Amino acid sequence: MSKKYHITTTVNGDDYEYLCEAQQTLLDVLRDELMLAGTKEGCATGDCGACTVMVDGTMVCSCLVLAVETDGAKVDTIEGMANGNELHPLQRKFLELNGSQCGICTPGILIAARALLERNPDPTETEIRYWLAGNLCRCTGYDKIIRSVQAAAREMRGA
């Protein structure tokens, strides 16, 4: 039997304890063990950003992190973005302005966009495009994504 590692972590503020094997990625554990399937797998090779989550405040591809590395870490995923039934402004604007079509890229883009707006509440279009360069979308052509992020940023600034 393979060796199992005992991991203690918080995900979206909730405490979790689980067992995993050394080669299991954080993405696999989130989706298959913790049943948090909001985080998506597009490529599993770090190229698409669909699996973007925050680990200890750093934006990462969860397919490029081993679950064993997150023992004691604080993980934030898309499931923690809305406040109960109240959507985050980014989520609302993506709905209103069609920033999401098939939705596979959306959780990763929302997590990345939130990280951007926390650092920079008033990013230019170019800054948004560069920040989201690691998040690929096959549907929207990006324009609606950019407009959704700008609209949310405006609302969050109270402008």
Partner 1 sequence: MDVRYEAPETLQAAVALLAGATGPAKILAGGTDVIVQMETDLIEPSLLVDIKKIPELRQIAFENGGFRIGAAVPGMDIMGHKALAKAWPGVLDGVKLIGSIQVRGRASIGGNLCNGSPAADSVPPLIAAGAIARIIGSKGTREVPVEQIPVGPGKTSLASDEIIASFFLPARAPHSGDAYQRFTPRTEMDIAVVGVGVNLTLDKGGTCTAARVALGAVAPTVLLSKECADALIGSKVDDVALEKLAAAASAACRPIDDKRGTKEYRIKVAGVLAKRTAQQALEVARKS
The distance of closest approach from Cβ of residue 105 to ligand FES in the complex, given in angstroms and rounded to an integer, is: 3
Footprint on residues 128-157 left by ligand FES (CB under 6 A): 137-140
Beta bridge partners of 53: 60
Interaction between residue 41 and ligand FES (CB under 6 A): yes
Among residues 43, 82, 95, 133, which is the contact residue for ligand FES, using CB under 6 A?
A: 43
Could you say whether residue 61 binds partner 1 (CB under 8 A)? Answer: yes
Q: Minimal distance in Å, beta carbon 43 to partner 1? A: 9
Q: CB of residue 121 vs ligand FES: minimum separation in angstroms?
A: 24
Residues 1-40 that bind ligand FES (CB under 6 A): none
Residue pair 55/30 in contact (Cβ under 8 Å)? The answer is no
| Closest CA relative to residue 145, chosen from 106, 89, 104, 88 | 106
**Using CA atoms, how far apart are residues 8 and 6, in angstroms rounded to an integer?**
7
Restricting to residues 91-150, name those near partner 1 by CB under 8 A: 112, 130-131, 133-135
Task: Give whichever of 60 and 75 is closer to partner 1, judged by the CB atom.
Answer: 60
Transcribe 110-153 into DSSP letters. HHHHHHHHHH-SS--HHHHHHHGGG---SSS-SHHHHHHHHHHH
Instruction: Give the residues across from 8 on adjacent strands.
Output: 17
> Is 45 a binder of partner 1 (CB under 8 A)?
yes
